């Protein structure tokens, strides 16, 4: 096992120049630097994160980039290449109720950092502290020069900033484009405000923004993958202890690829199914009188069947068996390599389709066709109800598999999916590339 390192994820020169020019056009000056963070694909371990279980995602070679510059008027001013809209809010006015739309992701992260106490308090996150709390002047609360945000400006003591976002993580594909933006913003502000948070603490900042500002009751997996990813490896995360291990995937060495099939069926974790699944899991844990479903193992299934109604039992069975599959996947990757994990990927999909009921016909079709055309294993990935499937496929078979999937979707009258290979990549840049 390798320790998470300071990922490089270097921004290539042409892109950095382009981003700086766009920043200058939108904000009127040059940025201080450029930071980036990737999207993720989850290899296995779905909906286990908020049940304090195991996950095994990897960061992908699609990233969000932020260029950040300082302001002396106490404003947070954000722009992005998705839209001409520029959103401007005084730092001390940032609040979950005020933020909406695309700017809720970067500004939600700024709010989450501002709302944390400095230094790290209960959340484990060091923030600017006190800012935004009526009547408290954070600059006065910290002796001159010791305040982490430095702030000579802005009534609340945190230095204002301008930020421009660009991303090549497909939106709505279930590849955590939102976590990529949150994490890129978090590393940028962490360095700018000299907060000294660790990568794990910054993952938590992204999750706080997602939960409290965007309003999606999601777990810690996506931001952890984006912060901690390593080239050619997956992040094995125990969401109870928050211990991580880097697990080599060895895809290139074994001539395998991971193909993503984006079904283009849109999903939204701030509404409906995701929250309902989470509620079922919490109900099951309560009836079984455990702190979380993580405390239960396959040996407990007969007891669970007796105690729970059928639907709640099937939801909980998915979590219990999925945790087991994640651990087995890690063991097999370490001992035998990627070709050994196919059956576990397939079983994970069946469990999500039949027990957790978060698949859709397009995802099932993608998985079935991939399996029939030589994929070693295939499963839907991410929160479900749309988004993407992944197929672990011998490199030589990939073109035929892609053609087969496109044909099957056309035959069923489904919208053509997007197909692309992803490379397990380094996580967020902790140090900005200074301009
Ligand atoms: C979404 C959530 F954001 C994650 O926290 C996780 O629960 C995932 O769905 C399902 O495994 O990506």
241 exposure class (CB count in 10 Å sphere: 0-12, 13-18, 19+): exposed
What string of pLDDT tens digits covers the 435 residues of the chain?
333 334 445 677 788 889 999 999 999 999 999 999 999 999 999 999 999 999 999 999 999 999 999 999 999 999 999 899 999 999 999 999 999 999 999 999 999 999 988 888 888 899 887 544 332 233 333 333 333 444 333 335 789 999 999 999 999 899 999 999 999 999 999 999 999 999 999 999 999 999 999 999 999 999 999 999 999 999 999 999 999 999 999 999 999 999 999 999 987 776 689 999 999 999 999 999 999 999 999 999 999 999 999 999 999 999 999 999 999 999 999 999 999 999 999 999 999 999 999 999 999 999 999 999 999 999 999 999 999 999 999 999 999 999 999 999 999 999 999 999 999 999 999 888 775
Q: Say what the pTM is.
A: 0.92
Determine the residue of 55, 179, 222 to mutate for testing ligand 1's pocket, defined as the one with the most ligand atoms within 8 A of the Cβ atom.
222
How far does the centroid of ligand 1 lie from the alpha carbon of residue 219, in Å?
6
Instruction: Give the Cα separation of 108 and 219 in Å (integer).
Output: 16
Q: Is 383 in the pocket of ligand 1 (CB under 6 A)?
A: yes
How far does the centroid of ligand 1 lie from the alpha carbon of residue 185, in Å?
20
Residue 167 half-sphere exposure, CB side, CA atoms within 13 Å? 28
Strand, coil or helix: what is 148?
coil
CB distance 219 to 50 below 8 Å? yes
How far does the centroid of ligand 1 lie from the alpha carbon of residue 102, in Å?
19
Q: How big is the CA angle at 51 (ends 46 and 55), to the nearest 5 degrees?
A: 40
CA distances from 259 to 31, 247, 374, 403, 405 (A): 36, 19, 12, 12, 11
Instruction: Give the Cα separation of 186 and 36 in Å (integer).
Output: 10
Instruction: Give the Cα separation of 167 and 60 in Å (integer).
Output: 13
Q: Is 380 in the pocket of ligand 1 (CB under 6 A)?
A: no
Q: What is the pLDDT of residue 120?
A: 86
Q: What is the pLDDT of residue 118?
A: 82
CA distances from 414 to 63, 310, 361, 400, 408 (A): 28, 32, 10, 19, 9
ipTM of this predicted complex? 0.99
To which H or E segment does residue 124 belong? none
Residue 194: CB atoms within 10 Å:
12
To which H or E segment does residue 362 belong? helix 361-372
Residue 309: CB atoms within 10 Å:
12
Residues in the chain: 435
Residue 345 half-sphere exposure, CB side, CA atoms within 13 Å? 28
Q: Is 182 in the pocket of ligand 1 (CB under 6 A)?
A: no
Residue 6's φ and ψ, nearest 5 degrees, are -80, 100
Cis bond leading into 97, ω under 30°? Answer: no
Residue 345's φ and ψ, nearest 5 degrees, are -60, -45
The residue whose C-alpha atom lies closest to atom 9 belonging to ligand 1 is 383
Q: What is the pLDDT of residue 15?
A: 87
Quick one: tokens of 366? Answer: 């993608």
Q: At what angle do helices 177-192 and 221-228 cross, to 10 degrees?
A: 60
How far does the centroid of ligand 1 lie from the alpha carbon of residue 351, in Å?
16
How far does the centroid of ligand 1 lie from the alpha carbon of residue 30, in Å?
36
Residue 431: CB atoms within 10 Å:
12
Partner residues linked to 243 by β-bridges: 238
Strand, coil or helix: what is 246?
strand
Q: Is 349 in the pocket of ligand 1 (CB under 6 A)?
A: no
Edge-to-edge strand ranges of the sheet holding 377-381 = 377-381, 388-394, 256-262, 418-422
Residue 291: CB atoms within 10 Å:
10
Q: What is the pLDDT of residue 145?
A: 35
Q: Is 382 in the pocket of ligand 1 (CB under 6 A)?
A: yes
Q: What is the pLDDT of residue 435?
A: 57
Residues with catalytic annotation? 222
- Work out the end-to-end distance of the chain between its first and last CA atoms, rounded to an integer number of angstroms: 35
Q: What is the pLDDT of residue 232?
A: 97
Q: At what angle do helices 199-208 and 104-115 cross, to 10 degrees?
A: 120
- Residue 45 Cα: closest atom of ligand 1: 11
Residue 305 half-sphere exposure, CB side, CA atoms within 13 Å? 6
Q: Is 381 in the pocket of ligand 1 (CB under 6 A)?
A: no
């Amino acid at each position: 096992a390798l320790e998470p390192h300071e990922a490089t994820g270097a921004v290539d020169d042409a892109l950095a120049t382009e981003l700086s020019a766009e920043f200058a056009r939108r904000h009127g000056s040059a940025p201080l630097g450029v930071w980036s963070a990737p999207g993720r694909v989850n290899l296995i371990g779905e909906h286990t994160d908020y049940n304090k279980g195991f996950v095994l995602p990897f960061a992908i070679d699609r990233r969000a980039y932020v260029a950040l510059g300082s302001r002396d008027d106490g404003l947070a001013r954000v722009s992005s290449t998705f839209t001409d809209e520029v959103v401007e809010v005084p730092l001390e006015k940032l609040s979950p109720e005020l933020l909406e739309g695309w700017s809720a992701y970067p500004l939600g992260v700024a709010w989450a950092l501002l709302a944390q106490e400095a230094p790290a308090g209960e959340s484990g996150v060091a923030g600017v502290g006190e800012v935004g709390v009526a009547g408290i002047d954070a600059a006065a609360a910290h002796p001159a020069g010791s305040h982490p945000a430095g702030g000579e400006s802005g009534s609340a003591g945190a230095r204002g900033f301008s930020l421009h976002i660009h991303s090549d993580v497909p939106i709505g594909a279930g590849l955590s484009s939102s976590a990529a933006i949150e994490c890129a913003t978090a590393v940028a502000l962490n360095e700018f405000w000299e907060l000294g948070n660790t990568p794990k603490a910054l993952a938590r900042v992204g999750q706080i923004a997602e939960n409290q500002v965007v309003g999606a009751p999601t777990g810690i997996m996506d931001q952890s993958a984006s912060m901690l990813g390593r080239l050619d490896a997956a992040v094995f995360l125990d969401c109870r202890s928050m211990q991580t291990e880097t697990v080599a995937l060895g895809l290139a060495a074994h001539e395998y690829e991971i193909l993503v099939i984006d079904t283009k069926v849109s999903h939204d974790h701030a509404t409906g199914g995701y929250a309902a699944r989470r509620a079922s899991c919490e109900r099951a844990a309560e009836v079984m009188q455990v702190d979380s479903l993580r405390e239960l193992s396959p040996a407990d299934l007969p007891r669970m069947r007796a105690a729970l109604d059928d639907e709640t039992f099937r939801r909980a069975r998915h979590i219990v068996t999925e945790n087991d599959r994640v651990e087995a996947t890690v063991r097999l990757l370490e001992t035998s390599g990627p070709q050994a994990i196919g059956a576990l990927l397939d079983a994970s999909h069946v469990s999500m389709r039949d027990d957790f009921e978060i698949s859709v016909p397009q995802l099932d079709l993608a998985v079935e066709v991939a399996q029939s055309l030589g994929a070693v294993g295939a499963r839907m990935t991410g929160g479900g109800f749309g988004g993407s499937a992944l197929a672990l496929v011998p490199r030589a078979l990939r073109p035929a598999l892609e053609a087969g999937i496109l044909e099957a979707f056309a035959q069923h009258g489904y919208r053509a999916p997007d197909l692309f290979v992803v490379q397990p990549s380094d996580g967020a840049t902790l140090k900005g590339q200074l301009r």
